[in-house]
Amino acid sequence: MKPKSKAMGRVACLLSASIASLLRGAGSFDEHPYSLSASFKTPMDTLAGLTDWAQGINYVYAITTVVVAIVFLAVSIPLVYAIRRFRVSDEEWGTLVPPKQVHGNAILEFTWTIIPVILLLFIAVPTWQIIFRQPEKHQVPANAMRIEVIGHQWWWEFRYPELGITTANELHLPEKTPVYFEISSADVIHSFWVPQFGGKMDALPGKGAENHLFFTTPVLQHPEKKGGEYYQGQCAELCGLSHALMRFEAVLHEKAEFERWATVFHNPPVVQTDLEKKGEQVFMQCMSCHTIEKTPSADLEKQLLAMTPPAHKAGPNLTDFGSRRMIAAGTRHNTAENFHDWVHDPSSIKPGSKMVSLGLPQADIEAVAAYLRYSTAKTY
Amino acid sequence: MSADAHAVHHTVTGIDNRKFGMWVLIGSECFLFGALILNYLVNRDRGLVGPKATDIFNIDITTLSTFDLLMSSVAMVLALHACQHREIKKFRFWTAMVILGGIIFLGFQYFEFHHFIHAGLGLTTNVFGSSFYLLTGCHGTHVFFGVLWLTSMLVTSFIRGKEWFPSVQLEVAGLYWHFVDVVWILIFTVVYLFVYL
Amino acid sequence: MAKCLPNTGVISWITTVDHKRIGIMYAVSAFFFLLCGGIEALLMRTQLAIPNNTLVTAGTFNSLVTMHGTTMIFLFVMPLSAAFFNFLTPLMIGAPDVAFPRMNALSYWIFLFGGLLLNFSFVVRLAPDGGWFNYANLTGKAFSPSHAIDFWVFGVQILGLASLIAAINFLVTILNMRCKGMTLLKMPIFIWTTLVTQVLLILALPVITVALVMMTFDRTFGTGFFDPAGGGQVIMWQHFFWIFGHPEVYILILPAMGIVSEILPTFSRKPLFGYTVMVYSSCAIGFLGFAVWAHHMFTTGLGPWAQALFSAATMLIAVPTGVKIFNWISTLWGGQIRFTTAMLFAMSFIAMFTFGGLSGVMHSSPPIDSQHQDTYFVVAHFHYVLYGGAVMALFGGIFYWFPKVFGYYLHEGMGKAQFWLYMLGFNLTFFPMHFLGMQGMPRRVFTYAGDQGWNLWNLVATSGSYVTALGGVMFVVNIVYTMATKKKKAPADCWDGRTLEWSLASPPPEYNFAVDPEVKNLDDWWHQKYTHDGRRLTPRYQPDVDPATKHLPHPSFWPIILAAGLEIVAIGFFFDEVGHYISVAGLVVTLLATYGWIFEEA
């Protein structure tokens, strides 16, 4: 059987990993990708919770880890001891007089029925504490910022009703602010999850099936840096072919910076060069699915929404595309090369992608790249 | 299944294996109908288009068909009694009455479905309709198989002659029939009567 | 017709109604499907060995995920458990056969055809890809227009029917056909866990049946039970699925617990510690198993009260389970432990199952679960429970009862090599998955980026899966070697066992017991061999008699024909034009077979 040291080592390993992660928070990413340290400092670390909600989870998690470790020791030590102590050789076995035929012991059995109940209370009470600390829909503070999160195959739409903003795959948030997410889906079930901001919440399709999530955004870890801090999110429910590639980024800003982002968001695209002008024309072909504020594509969207029943555009809103760090739902960096590959053949990057390849000639792709990557870039 | 247990004469519980098996199946069926009824209750008011329950239900007719099914259960008791007392004519007569009761019930159901479809509630009209047809259709299928079963026994009785009294087999069929009847009473209450609460 | 069927050869296996032969067929089929599921697992692990791998496409990976889960649950662990139920139940309770021998054959053939239908999907390149829990509405016609999902829906429907028939059969067998003197609390513990498993099957299967019918209606007839556009709710599928799916977890683990509870006493030469409490805890686990389904749905927005109640119920299950674990350790305590392969597997079960159980306790807490749900932490958890737990115990059972079934011991050296390869490979694969989960790697991703910090643990996990595969090869070699050389013949009571099957020759005769056994004690066979102070007695082995003097149920063709009829009904749903003709033809075959069955002399 398992030697004792192995069992102990395993617990120690789990414990130290948990504790180390609890203490640390998200780290830099310069190590070798296969190194042990890189394997415990990851952008999706569930133990590096920053919000009140995430830290509540980690509080229960830490207690549970200790309880579970105690139980594991209480099982593995006697188990390993019994196996070693009472082993007899194959030759001897069967020839010996059988041991005392003990059928049970009521007191012992009662004891190990009661002790787990008590231990479980140590998990249950903080669990319930955290569950009931999370406000329900009607308890959400009035000053909380409301954000609608809509899952699509395979990208995320974020709407800020109070700010009149609709964007995709990049969730901008002010620091130290209560935010209230209304999570739903336009097609199949997705799950909205930024591990460092807390647990996940499923995005269900259908009227009245919206889910709610509330937390207060954390303080900036490096306030001196401009342009926001990036936290990774990912869809956590199997939602079809490209489920693995349905990522997004949450960008945390200093409050004033967030205000600026929300203001400049509404600026029309700045079309300067000839290439950008050509791109603006090419983009007309993308208009039936994509919208850029203050352009004809936005007028088209208004017309579609005025129909009965209202029709929604299938693709993400690209108003601030130029200032997004990633494209293709947080899976590729926003470079000219990646942009080209994506527009040229979306399903080669994202299997089953609903975005069609328009078969644009090379020059047109370059033009629309220039338009989208530079004209829509907002400085804040 | 009827002939399988012949080798065993004695059972621990004293209940014939076949009868015991039917009781267990009925336990399982309770959960089957439980799930269907639950689904109906959840979806009853969720239909977005098409008629609602109160628009199309006809309680008078359904009460009649419920009465019919109840009476067929009475006939079942009498058929079993006759079979156990080796009264061939009564056994055949009452079995035929059970079958008739089942067929009349199915006729009512056909009429009802026909009427509902004309009133604009098809299988795919809305989730209320789908759940309704799934639940009552599943029950109707059970009645149909009961009719088939008892008809097979009646035909066999004529083939095997006047000395064939399959008491245990008929008792097993009777258990099934009574269960299907009880389920209908539950459906009648939950589906047809609760709407008017 | 039935009377002149041969006793050997292929026909005899097709028409057999002997519970021992059916048990063997279940086991052989289960291992064939294990091979399928294992290859699927290896392909997935290979794909995930390195980031951005392109060995398989996203679509293929989703199919592999779906089919691996479905195969291992419905086509490996359940039928292998059924193999043990079949072979052992009548022998352990001292019965000549099961209550309904032909229905027993029927359930096997339905299972086999269902499994083949499910796997046939690979041949036509339409393997289901909606995950083993097949969540609506991804699996609706709008998002999965091909017949791929239909293979899953009909496959599982058919397999469920097979399990239901078997469950009714075993429940009646156990309650009705025990030998003289065997009261409920003198039944071997394996019979008890079998009994509870059958009850769970009987009550849980109809719920998934209803859900599958609803999904069939949605996909084939255009209803909208799970379609939000027409007022349906996607969440309903999840409730139905898990009301079945959580008892299903105990359906998988309870037989394994029973097997371990038989092996540990034998090789410790002590009775099971706290037998009565073990019985009650099995019942408690089965009962609570129906009250916790929503813990699979903690992230679907249940609201605080449902979360609190379902988490409490879930934690409560840890109590009877914990009692079992300590009772197993107490069984070992003070015993004379022999390290046979079977015993190694059984002891490892305690450790691995405890570990999986403890990570289960962790995500019984909804806040923790909201981080763990749908990550590799959950994958690690249920593999510790179902693989480190159920599968290790089932292998222990194979090594323990193989000599009884075939009359020859499996090779112990190869068995131990397999055990250590399994232990090493298993822990190497699944232990790092806890880390992957804590580092946020979601389940069912066909690939991952290289900058996520998941590279190392994925590589380790993949290497572990190959070690496990080596263990599997070792097992196949062992079986082939044992049956080819037939070196070590096993006597009737080859392990100094405690239950009735050891009073029979190895392999047991077709008629089981020549003399109807009568028991006075729990572990009656042991008490026939030893006095209370350990002096040896001479037990009375079952004599050999002429099989002709025993009334045996006749072999029959009808079970396989009836099963084929049902399969044809399902196949009809895959053809759009002529489908309903095929289905009706299948119904006719089924009906005719039923009549043939009824009028055949058993």
Separation in Å, CA of A157 to nearest CA in chain C: 19
Q: Give partners of B (≥3 CB pairs < 8 A).
A: C
- Residue B164 in domain: yes
b/e per residue, C239-274, with b = 16+ CB within 10 A? bbbbbbbbbbbbbbbbbbbbbbbbbbbbbbbbbbbb
- pLDDT tens for B112-166 read 999 999 999 999 989 999 999 999 999 999 999 999 999 999 999 999 989 999 9
Instruction: Grade residue A15 by pLDDT with cuts at 50, 70 and 90.
Output: low
Q: Is the pLDDT of residue A213 over 90?
A: yes
pLDDT band with cut points at 50, 70 and 90 for residue B196: confident
Structure-block tokens of residue A32 = 């070798």
Name which of A241, A170, A243 is nearest A203 in CA terms: A243
A2 interfacial to chain C (CB closer than 8 Å): yes
**What is the signed CA dihedral for C302, C304, C309, C311, rounded to 10 degrees?**
80
Amino acid C3: pLDDT: 52
Closest CB to B13 among C100, C176, C217: C176
Alpha-carbon distance B133 to nearest alpha carbon in chain C (angstroms): 11
For C325-334, letters b (16+ CB in 10 Å) and e give bbbbbbbbbb
CA dist C318 and C308 (Å) reads 16
How many angstroms separate the CA of residue A376 from the nearest CA in chain C?
27
Question: Is the CB of C230 inside 8 Å of chain A's CB atoms?
Answer: no
All residues of chain B having their beta carbon less than 8 Å from the beta carbon of residue C99 are 4-5, 8, 17, 20-21
Neighbours of A135 (CB within 10 A): 16
Does position B2 have pLDDT exceeding 90, yes or no? no
**C129-C133-C135-C136 Cα dihedral, nearest 10 degrees:** 90
Answer whether residue B128 is part of any domain. yes
Residue B71 lies in a domain: yes
Taking only the tens place, the pLDDT of each residue in B63-114 is 999 999 999 999 999 999 999 999 999 999 999 999 999 999 999 999 999 9
pLDDT of residue A20: 52
- End-to-end C-alpha distance for chain B, whole angstroms: 44
**B26 → chain C, closest CA residue:** C202
What is the distance in angstroms between the Cα of C148 and the nearest Cα belonging to chain B? 23
The shortest CB-CB distance from A204 to any of C300, C338, C446 is to C300
Count of domains observed in chain B: 1
DSSP annotation string for C348-386: HHHHHHHHHHHHHHHTTSHHHHHHHTTBHHHHHHHHHHI
Give how far the C-alpha of residue A79 lies from the chain's centroid of Cα atoms, to the nearest Å. 40
Predicted pLDDT of residue A85: 95
Nearest to C137 by CA among A367, B3, A189, A87: A189
**pLDDT tens-digit series, residues B55-76:** 888 888 999 999 999 999 999 9
Considering only the beta carbons, identify the residue of B2, B20, B130 that sits closest to C225: B130
Mean pLDDT, rounded, for A328-333: 92
In a domain, B2, yes or no: no
CB contact under 8 A, C323 and A237: no
Q: Are A99 and C334 in contact (CB under 8 A)?
A: yes
Tokens of residue A305, six digits: 């929404």
B177 part of a folded domain: yes
**Coil, helix or strand for A172?**
strand
Task: With a cut of 60, say whether residue C253 has pLDDT above it.
Answer: yes
Please report residues of C whose CB lies closer than 8 A to that of B35: 206-207, 210-211, 240, 243
Whether A51 has its CB under 8 Å from any CB of chain C: the answer is no
Contact A173, A334 (CB under 8 A): no
- CA C98 to chain CA mean position, Å: 19
Of A2, A124, A209, the CB nearest to C312: A124
Residues C231-249 have pLDDT tens digits of 899 999 999 999 999 999 9
DSSP conformational letter for A46: T
For the segment C11-67, what is each residue's pLDDT rounded down to a tens digit?
999 999 999 999 999 999 999 999 999 999 999 999 999 999 999 999 999 999 999
Give per-residue pLDDT as tens, C344-387: 999 999 999 999 999 999 999 999 999 999 999 999 999 999 99
Which residues, in sequence order, are CB contacts of A273 under 8 Å at separation 6+?
A370, A374
Domains of chain A in start order, with CATH, are: 4-133 (no CATH), 144-252 (2.60.40.420), 274-375 (2.60.40.420)
Q: Does the CB of A19 have a partner CB in chain C at under 8 Å?
A: no
- Interface check for C124 against chain A (CB to CB < 8 A): the answer is no
The residue that leads in pLDDT, A367 or A18, is A367
Please give the angle made by the CA atoms of A331, A335 and A341, to the nearest 5 degrees: 70
Residue B6 lies in a domain: no
pLDDT at A31: 65
Q: For residue B145, give the chain C residue with the closest CA.
A: C591
Q: How far is B25 from chain C (nearest CA, A)?
A: 7
pLDDT-derived band of residue A226, with 50, 70 and 90 as boundaries? confident
- The rounded distance, in Å, linking the Cα atoms of A367 and A356 is 18
Q: In C144-186, at which residue ranges do the beta strands (DSSP E only) sit?
A: none
- Give the per-residue pLDDT at C5: 64
The domains found in chain C, sorted by start residue, are 9-556 (1.20.210.10)
- Within 8 A of C534 by CB-CB distance, chain A residues are 97-98
**Tokens describing residue C245:** 């799916």
Instruction: Give A 210-239 residues with CB within 8 A of chain C.
Output: 211-212, 234-239
Chain A 309-368, residues with CB within 8 Å of chain C CB atoms:
331, 351-352
pLDDT of residue B3: 41
Among A24, A63, A64, A115, the strongest candidate for a mutation testing the C interface, having the largest count of C CBs within 10 A, is: A64
* Among the partner residues C178, C224, C551, nearest to B130 by beta-carbon distance: C224
Chain B interface mutation, best of C19, C104, C172, C594, highest count of B Cβ atoms under 10 Å: C172
Q: Which CATH number is B164's domain given? A: 1.20.120.80
Longest dimension (CA), chain A: 98
Average pLDDT over residues C318-331: 96
SS3 A327: strand
Residues C283-303 pLDDT 10s: 999 999 999 999 999 999 999
* Chain C residue nearest residue A131, CA to CA: C304
What stretches of chain A show up as alpha helix (H) in DSSP?
4-24, 52-85, 106-133, 255-264, 274-282, 296-306, 336-344, 346-349, 362-370
- CA R_g for chain C: 24
Question: Per-residue confidence at A380, pLDDT binned at 50, 70, 90?
Answer: confident
pLDDT digit string, tens, across residues C62-99: 999 999 999 999 999 999 999 999 999 999 999 999 99
Residue B7 covered by a domain: no
Distance CA C251, CA C167 (A): 11
CA C357 – CA C364 distance, rounded (Å): 10
* Facing C176 at nearest CB: one of B12, B126, B138: B12
Using CA atoms, how far apart are residues C206 and C198, in angstroms rounded to an integer?
Answer: 13
C216 vs B54 pLDDT, higher one: C216
**What is the least distance, in Å, from the CA of B1 to any CA of chain C?**
6
**Looking at beta carbons, which residues of chain B come within 8 Å of C222?**
123-124
pLDDT at A267: 93
| Angstroms from C326 CA to nearest CA on chain A | 7
> Over the stretch C458-496, which tens digit does the pLDDT of each residue have?
999 999 999 999 999 999 999 999 999 998 999 999 999
- Domain assignment of residue B171, yes or no: yes
Q: pLDDT value at position A3?
A: 44
- What pLDDT score was predicted for residue A62? 94
CB C273 within 8 Å of CB C330: yes
Q: Which of residues 143-182 of A touch C (CB under 8 A)?
A: 153
In this complex, the residue of C445, C455, C532 whose CB is nearest that of residue A34 is C455
Please give the C-alpha separations between residue A213 and each of A139, A179, A182, C437, C439, in angstroms, as whole numbers.
12, 8, 7, 22, 22
Provide the CB-side half-sphere exposure for B46 (13 A, CA).
25
Residues 510-539 of C with CB under 8 A from A: 530, 532, 534
C204 and B31 within 8 Å at the Cβ level: the answer is yes
Residue A23 confidence (pLDDT) above 50: no
Tell me how far apart the alpha carbons of residues C556 and C570 are, in angstroms, rounded to a whole number.
23
Neighbours of chain A (3+ CB pairs under 8 A): C
Task: Compare all CA atoms of chain C with the CA of A185 and give the residue at the minimum distance.
Answer: C228
Domain that holds residue B56: 13-44+51-196
pTM of the model: 0.93
The answer to whether the CB atoms of B28 and C164 lie below 8 A apart is: yes
Q: Is A129 on the interface with C (CB under 8 A)?
A: no
Higher-confidence position of A167 and A22:
A167
Whether chain A has a CB inside 8 Å of the CB on C206: the answer is no
What's the ipTM? 0.93
